[in-house]
Amino acid sequence: TSSAKQFEYKAEMKQLLDLIVHSLYTHPEIFLRELISNASDALGKARFRMLSSDEGIDKSGDLKITITVDKESGNFVIEDTGIGMSEEELIANLGTVAKSGTLGFMESLKAQQKEGQPLDANLIGQFGVGFYSVFMVTDEVTVETKSAEAGSQGWRWVSSGQGTYTIEPIEREARGTKISFTLKEEFKEFAEEYRVEQIIKKYSNFVEYPIMLGSRQINSMTALWQRPKSELKEEEVNEFYKFISNDYKEPLDYLHVSVEGVVSFKALLFIPSEAPMELLYQQGALEKRGPQLYVKKVLIQHECRDLLPEYLRFVSGVVDTEDLSLNVSRELVQSSPVMAKIRQILTSKLLGWFDTLAKEQPEKFRTFYKAFGTILKIGLNTDFTNRDKLIELLRFETTKTGEGEYVTLKQYVGRMAEGQEEIYYHSGNSRAQMLAHPNLEYFRKKDIEVLLLSDPVDVFVIPSLFEYEKKPLKSIEKAEIDASTIEPEAEKLGAEGTVGVISLFKEVLGERVADVVESKRLVSSPVTLVSAKDAMDSQMEKVMKMMQQ
Ligand code: ADP
Ligand code: MG
């Protein structure tokens, strides 16, 4: 129209639009996530102004997002009742690349293109690529907006993303912004309600304002983690868990975290009821896992590895912080001091939670430990800051517990036999097999408790503990014990007989053994296998052999 003024985009704009259109084409659906995220931001700003009892603000109507599509014409409309924009704001916000994140995105894209790599889907997920992503799916966009400042004028902004845009005043009743466009032929699918619903569910399900498609609200749940813990209903929380984890079972337990301080974030974290299949059968599965990272209620990364150390990545859930920008890149996420701080706090909260479970709900803890104990033990050799806390979480069956019953190292030390100075362990494939071992005879006679290690990883982690409460940990194969102190000399062969038997054994076994010696550890069995002082425990040797195959 004649009243429309024409403007030029700022210099980098053309380049940005070009890049977006040509590199995001594999993920065109991103445009909707971006428009919803902007609408949600605008609603947040409006709500803030309303809450701060500002008189000069239009407070009418609901805070919501409405999407209307028409599959025949391919028309797409998204409208919010948020803060809106004045003419100056339109020029400042939609005519320049102001965000450093967007520039960072461009840099990464260029780098990837140079190396001829295909575009990494994760890369897109981690950048807010912004309003301009809409030009992937359309040739022309119309933005009609009215600022929430009382008495504001409405404005229409139109652009085909080709270097210029126009602005003109319009009559507009409602506060907020309406963005409309016609989808390019090849993107008509986004005018199908089912498709729009799918995308909303995928990226924006927990946006805290209603997203209406026609007259239906699509985002089924609010951001549960933003609510105070006391307002969380178990059913809701369970449903949320199933949604984010694709588990059909209820979680074993959940933890709500709300931290304000050096960093601020909220988190809702879950222990699954059993170890996910991929963790059991897929090598390297832990490396790829992590909770979802949200920034201000917008999903940034589906599996954010940087939020938890590897040994805690069986925990699933959501972490939402205000301290990162929506446009944050993966590199920035990784190296950000904010993330390091969040990881540190979460780790300590999780270990504290497990400890509380152990004390207050021992049955639950037992289930937890059976499912995830093996993974947890990785931390003993990787997280030295929390090693002491992890050691307290360790549980063992022993020669004095029933099957499936556990003791802690503290309990073990607390009930050590008189004069016992070491913590003894025995490793093997099964409890029954271990209990039948001749090396246990001496300990049984002496009424000394022995830890029974049947988890294959135990042979790697337990010896590396060295000691607990100043008591050295010792494999019973290596313990320097003398059974003669409990059995009379009577049945001994005598020096000559012993030498004869030993040389016979050496002859028969030959190279298969390092040595044959007279044993002081046996009570009623005639022979046993032991390891040399500086050699591996025999179970460790077995496991190592298995791994080399
Ligand atoms: P970002 O959201 O990271 O700031 P965008 O390119 O998505 O970058 O949006 C640019 C700016 O345009 C926003 O910061 C905001 O000021 C303005 N804007 C976009 N959409 C809306 C909207 N629906 N309501 C009000 N302002 C908006
Ligand atoms: Mg945005």
- 267-297 residue pLDDT tens: 999 999 988 777 766 677 788 889 999 888 7
Q: Which two tokens stand for residue 330?
A: 């993966």
Local confidence band at 125 (pLDDT 50, 70, 90 cut-offs):
very low
Q: Mean pLDDT: which of 75-79, 126-130, 286-290, 538-542 is highest?
A: 75-79
The environment of the single-atom ion ligand 2, i.e. residues with CB closer than 5 A, is 37-38, 130
Distance CA 382, CA 377 (A): 9
User: Among the atoms of ligand 1, which is closest to the Cα of residue 325?
Assistant: 3
pLDDT at 126: 44
pLDDT at 275: 87
How far apart are the CA of 90 and the centre of ligand 1, in A? Answer: 9
User: Among the atoms of ligand 1, which is closest to the Cα of residue 39?
Assistant: 23
**Ligand 1 pocket, Cβ-based, cut-off 6 angstroms:** 34, 38-39, 42, 80, 82-85, 93-94, 99, 128, 130-131, 177, 326-327
Percentage of the chain surpassing pLDDT 70?
Answer: 84
Short-list 170, 165, 214, 168, CA closest to 194: 214
- What residue numbers does the annotated binding site for ATP cover? 34, 38, 80, 85, 93, 99-101, 126-131, 177, 330
What is the number of the ligand closest to the CA of 16? 1
Local confidence band at 389 (pLDDT 50, 70, 90 cut-offs):
very high
Taking CA atoms only, the protein residue closest to ligand 1 atom 1 is 130
How far apart are the CA of 38 and the centre of ligand 2, in A? Answer: 5
Cα–Cα distances (Å) from 450 to 430, 453, 548, in that order, read 14, 9, 29
Short-list 157, 221, 209, 174, CA closest to 45: 209
- HSE (side-chain half, CA atoms, 13 Å) at 162: 5
How far apart are the CA of 130 and the centre of ligand 1, in A? Answer: 7
User: Among the atoms of ligand 1, which is closest to the Cα of residue 132?
Assistant: 6
What's the whole-number mean pLDDT along residues 303-313? 93
Taking CA atoms only, the protein residue closest to ligand 1 atom 27 is 38
Distance CA 432, CA 466 (A): 26
Q: Which two tokens stand for residue 102?
A: 């967007």
Distance CA 294, CA 40 (A): 14
How far apart are the CA of 402 and the centre of ligand 1, in A? Answer: 63
pLDDT at 333: 76
Pick the residue with more confidence: 63 or 220?
63
What is the number of the ligand closest to the CA of 99? 1
Range name among 317-331, 371-385, 412-426, 452-466 with the lowest pLDDT average: 317-331
430-468: pLDDT as tens digits = 999 999 998 898 899 889 999 999 888 898 888 889 999
Task: Please check the confidence at residue 104 and state whether its pLDDT lies above 70.
Answer: no
Short-list 494, 507, 425, 421, CA closest to 459: 425
How far apart are the CA of 35 and the centre of ligand 2, in A? Answer: 7
Distance CA 34, CA 255 (A): 30
How far apart are the CA of 332 and the centre of ligand 2, in A? Answer: 18
What's the whole-number mean pLDDT along residues 500-528? 77
Q: Which amino acid is at 83?
A: I
Residue 212's DSSP bridge partners are 66, 217
What is the number of the ligand closest to the CA of 94? 1
Pick the residue with more confidence: 252 or 538?
252
Q: Which two tokens stand for residue 201?
A: 């569910």
Pick the residue with more confidence: 82 or 23?
82
pLDDT at 122: 46
- What residue numbers does the annotated binding site cover? 34, 38, 80, 85, 93, 99-101, 126-131, 177, 330
Distance CA 233, CA 238 (A): 9
pLDDT at 166: 95
What is the number of the ligand closest to the CA of 39? 1
Taking CA atoms only, the protein residue closest to ligand 1 atom 17 is 93
Pocket test for ligand 1, best of 38, 96, 209 (most atoms within 8 A of CB): 38
465-508: pLDDT as tens digits = 999 999 999 999 887 776 666 554 445 566 677 777 778 888 88
Distance CA 466, CA 326 (A): 46
| Residues in CB range of 385: below 8 A, 6 or more apart | none
How far apart are the CA of 211 and the centre of ligand 1, in A? Answer: 17
Q: How crowded is residue 135: how many other Cβ atoms within 10 Å of its Cβ?
A: 23
What is the number of the ligand closest to the CA of 328? 1
- HSE (side-chain half, CA atoms, 13 Å) at 463: 18
Task: Please check the confidence at residue 543 and state whether its pLDDT lies above 70.
Answer: no
Describe the crossing of helices 337-360 and 362-376 by its angle, rounded to 10 degrees: 140
User: Among the atoms of ligand 1, which is closest to the Cα of residue 38?
Assistant: 20
Helix residue ranges per DSSP H, 294-401: 330-335, 337-360, 362-376, 387-393
Range name among 57-61, 125-129, 229-233 with the lowest pLDDT average: 125-129
How far apart are the CA of 442 and the centre of ligand 1, in A? Answer: 75
Range name among 19-23, 147-151, 420-424, 461-465 with the lowest pLDDT average: 19-23
* Strand bridging mode 423-427 / 471-475: parallel
Task: Please check the confidence at residue 123 and state whether its pLDDT lies above 60.
Answer: no
Q: Which DSSP letter does residue 462 get?
A: S
